[in-house]
Structure 1
Amino acid sequence: MSPVRTACLSFIFAALSCTAHAADNRAELNLQTLTAARTGNLKLFQQLIDQGASPDTRNRIGDSILIMAIKNDRIDIVKRAIELGANVNLANTAKVTPLMAAAFHGRADAARLLLDKNADVNAMDQLNKTAMVYAAGSGQTAIVDMLLAKGIEPNATYPNQLTALMWAGAYGHLATVKMLMEHGADARLLDNRGKSVLVMAQENDHPEVVKFLQGMN
């Protein structure tokens, strides 16, 4: 083999080695950043960002820094990631957004921060659920109130003609039911099976919700 060919091959191998090393370093940086977000280690999180980590780093199922921090109730990380320009609408592989995660887990402070940055209140996941569906179905009354304040129609219908009131009533969340009705939610509406929120509450054995709804008739 000629000296020139040998030199060329050595250069190629060195370049490939550097590329692989850089990829390994990036993977390790991402892993450490995700761990810092999950555990709420704000100091380490900032150090890793300073080293080049992205505030939009995601894990294997697509959960972003924001989603991981929200799931684990790490509000300091949520706040800092947003300050660093994290995408507040970055969804995971199931199309769940940070706002949906906040709604489901009842992270009202995180939801407020996301909404202040104009998070999409109408985004749908792969099951066509929205943040309102998650909030109402989980009984997160404060977050439901925030979403209504952002212009969500209280009688909007979701898959199977279900309303937020139906989601709240079917799962027995009386406070959420009351608040939705105070904002104009209609208990007379029917889903695609012809069932009202009252019937759903009865079928799922939520007597307090049933009593309240019957008292409204």
Structure 2
Amino acid sequence: ALKDGAAVDFASETEKGNTALLWACRDGRQDMIRRLIDAGAKVGLSNSMGVTPLMMASAGGWSDCVRVLLDAGADAGVKTPQKAKTAAQYARERMEAVQPEERSRYEKVLEVLDAGDTPPPASTGAPAASAPVAATVPTTSKASKG
């Protein structure tokens, strides 16, 4: 359908405004995320709750998907309208809720987000400072790998 020009940013009201890109990010489908972005999907488009694809991938612990989204221009500083949560906060709250053996997935997501937030070195040659990561918030979403 993508080759035939399907609307990649279509969001159904019955699905809370989730687009195909949001679903692919929830499920950790890096291949589909790349295809959708190549077909014109907007990486900054949020659902009815203000959740972006980057937030969804971060909540799932999908560091490879987070990297693809950041490379495509996703903004890690965007916050949800009601609770002002960032992608890093979604990753941190999930990291607090999962079993210890799963925490490394979320640590990797936070590393990728931190690297994506680091500005390029100043023209003076001085090293750039990385942006601080937001504080931990309670868990809300459930995502599983596999």
TM over 0.5: yes
Question: Residues 115 and 155 from structure 1, CA distance in 2 versus in 1: closer, same or farther, beyond 3 angstroms?
Answer: closer
Q: Percentage identity across aligned positions?
A: 34
Q: Which amino acid in 2 is paired with 1:154?
A: P
Distance 1:102 1:121 in 2: 11
Q: Which amino acid in 2 is paired with 1:138?
A: R
Distance 2:54 2:66 in 1: 6
Identify the match of residue 147 of structure 1 among 113, 117, 140: 113
Identify the match of residue 131 of structure 1 among 74, 87, 97: 87
SS of 2:2's partner is: helix
Q: CA deviation at 1:107?
A: 1.3
Distance 2:110 2:27 in 1: 21
Identify the match of residue 80 of structure 1 among 35, 49, 58: 35
Partner residue in 1 for 2:61: 106
Distance 1:123 1:102 in 2: 14
Partner residue in 2 for 1:174: none
Q: CA deviation at 1:155?
A: 5.6
Gaps of 5+ in 1: 1-47, 157-162, 172-217
Distance 1:155 1:74 in 2: 25
Larger RCO (CA within 8 A; separation ≥ 6): 2
Q: Say yes or no: does 1:91 pair with 2:57.
A: no
Distance 1:117 1:76 in 2: 14
Check whether the contact 2:28–2:57 (CA below 8 A) recurs between aligned residues.
no
Q: Identify which range, 102-111 or 70-79, moves more after superposition.
A: 70-79
How many residues are matched?
A: 114
Distance 1:138 1:153 in 2: 21
What do you get for the CA RMSD once the two structures are aligned? Answer: 2.0
Greater helix share, structure number: 1
Q: Say yes or no: does 1:59 pair with 2:24.
A: no
Question: Residues 155 and 81 from structure 1, CA distance in 2 versus in 1: closer, same or farther, beyond 3 angstroms?
Answer: closer
After the TM superposition, which residues 35-50 of structure 1 pair with which residues of structure 2 at under 5 Å, given as runs? 48-50=1-3
Q: Identify which range, 61-70 or 147-156, moves more after superposition.
A: 147-156
Question: Residues 52 and 107 from structure 1, CA distance in 2 versus in 1: closer, same or farther, beyond 3 angstroms?
Answer: same
Q: TM-score, normalised by structure 1?
A: 0.48
Distance 1:104 1:112 in 2: 14
Question: Residues 71 and 50 from structure 1, CA distance in 2 versus in 1: closer, same or farther, beyond 3 angstroms?
Answer: same
